[in-house]
Amino acid sequence: MIPAKGYAAPKVKAELGPFSFERRDPRPNDVVIDIKFCGICHSDIHQARDEWGGSTFPMVPGHEIAGVVSRVGGKVTKYKVGDKVGVGCFVNSCRHCENCTRGLEQYCLDGGATLTYNGFERDGKTPTYGGYSNQIVVDENYVLRVPDNLPLDGVAPLFCAGITLYSPLMHWKAGPGKKVAIVGLGGLGHMGVKIAHALGAEVTVLSQSLRKEADGRRLGADNFYATSDPATFKKLQRYFDLIINTVSVEMDWNAYLNLLKLDGSMVVVGVPEKPACVAAFPLIMFRRSLAGSAIGGIKETQEMLDFCGKHNLTSDVEVIPIQKVNEAYERVIKSDVRYRFVIDMASL
């Protein structure tokens, strides 16, 4: 076994602290990665606090992992020592179900994808530990290649926040001539603005206030409106082809559906605590759709990274030492970060 160190939540709602554990010795298809940076995703906090249920402890969170290959198994063909790579929200899947075969492993039908942390390996009993650590061992088929021109700290959030926005923007065909709204300008939303803009769509940010307007425009937004102003919902009636809703607090989805034009879609990627109440009329009128989307498969995640490389696009990050992770959690909850915390693993 490979001795590893990291930060873990020892039990539910406890602060994270130093933790020693072991990674498996590389199997023939495994890549050993020296983790350089790991992003802090809001879902790390939900899971460390068991807000979604079913969490297991001790938990080493982290699924926005960027690093460098330090060792490879005998049958690895895709990567070599020294390659810049990353790992996202899952590290394995069944590989034979209908969805895995289509490259949509995040929707694996046979036991689900193996989560990078707070999950179990395919044997059903070996816990997985995430990226708040110095090393990780992952099958090469679930490792992503980082374009050479991108810095690893800014790349880390692409593995969750980036793909979470890229996938629906591609699936619902954001591009030239399309009017796209991004609801919420946080870790997810700011990536949505950058990617939708790079795809050539007209991008509008719908944020609670105009506080982040200058930022939004710098990130690529063409328009910026405050949702606290009722005039916004009058003015933008039937305006958008696509709305990506990144907000995880309760809001009136019906008001947003009314901003869609004929055949428009609102795609939900945030998870509010309580179920939303949706009326039939805003959907029936103008043949609108309400949909959801979860991260992306390996093939699409690689596509997203290559797209970001081509457009020189990364996340706006605040790099912190791992000793500040608990403080960072509190700030994420208060939306006090522009726009993603990334842990510098050299601090371990």
* Cβ distance to Zn ion smaller for residue 143 or 259: 143
- β-partners of residue 206 are 183, 225
* Cβ distance to Zn ion smaller for residue 47 or 207: 47
Question: Within 10 Å of residue 72's Cβ, how many Cβ atoms?
Answer: 20
Region binding Zn ion by CB under 5 A among candidate stretches 98-106, 203-211, 283-291, 332-340: 98-106
For residue 99, the minimal CB distance to Zn ion (Å) is 6
Region binding Zn ion by CB under 5 A among candidate stretches 43-51, 148-156, 194-202, 238-246: 43-51
Residues in contact with 215: Cβ distance below 8 Å, sequence separation at least 6, in sequence order? 185, 190, 338
How far is residue 246 CA from its own chain's centroid? 11
The answer to the question of residue 51 lying near Zn ion (CB under 5 A) is no
Give just the sign of the alpha carbon dihedral 202, 261, 162, 43. Answer: positive
Interface residue with Zn ion among 50, 110, 316, 344 (CB under 5 A) is 110
The span from the first CA to the last CA of the chain, in angstroms, equals 20
* Cβ distance to Zn ion smaller for residue 230 or 292: 292
CB 204 within 8 A of CB 224: yes
* Cβ distance to Zn ion smaller for residue 217 or 331: 331
For residue 244, the minimal CB distance to Zn ion (Å) is 16
* Cβ distance to Zn ion smaller for residue 227 or 315: 315
* Cβ distance to Zn ion smaller for residue 124 or 177: 124
Interface residue with Zn ion among 8, 91, 108, 181 (CB under 5 A) is 108
Interface residue with Zn ion among 35, 60, 85, 100 (CB under 5 A) is 100
φ, ψ at 192 (rounded to 5°) = -60, -40
Size of residue set near Zn ion by CB under 5 A: 9
Helices (H), 11-160: 42-48, 98-101, 152-155
For residue 201, the minimal CB distance to Zn ion (Å) is 24
Tokens of 120: 């179990």
For residue 100, the minimal CB distance to Zn ion (Å) is 3
Window 125-164: residues binding Zn ion (CB under 5 A): 160
Question: Within 10 Å of residue 250's Cβ, how many Cβ atoms?
Answer: 12
State the pairing for strand pair 240-245/179-183. parallel
Window 159-218: residues binding Zn ion (CB under 5 A): 160
Instruction: Tell the burial category of 97 from Cβ atoms under 10 Å away from its Cβ (0-12, 13-18, 19+).
Output: middle
Window 74-93: residues binding Zn ion (CB under 5 A): 93
Per CB under 5 A, residues contacting Zn ion are: 41, 43, 93-94, 97, 100, 108, 110, 160
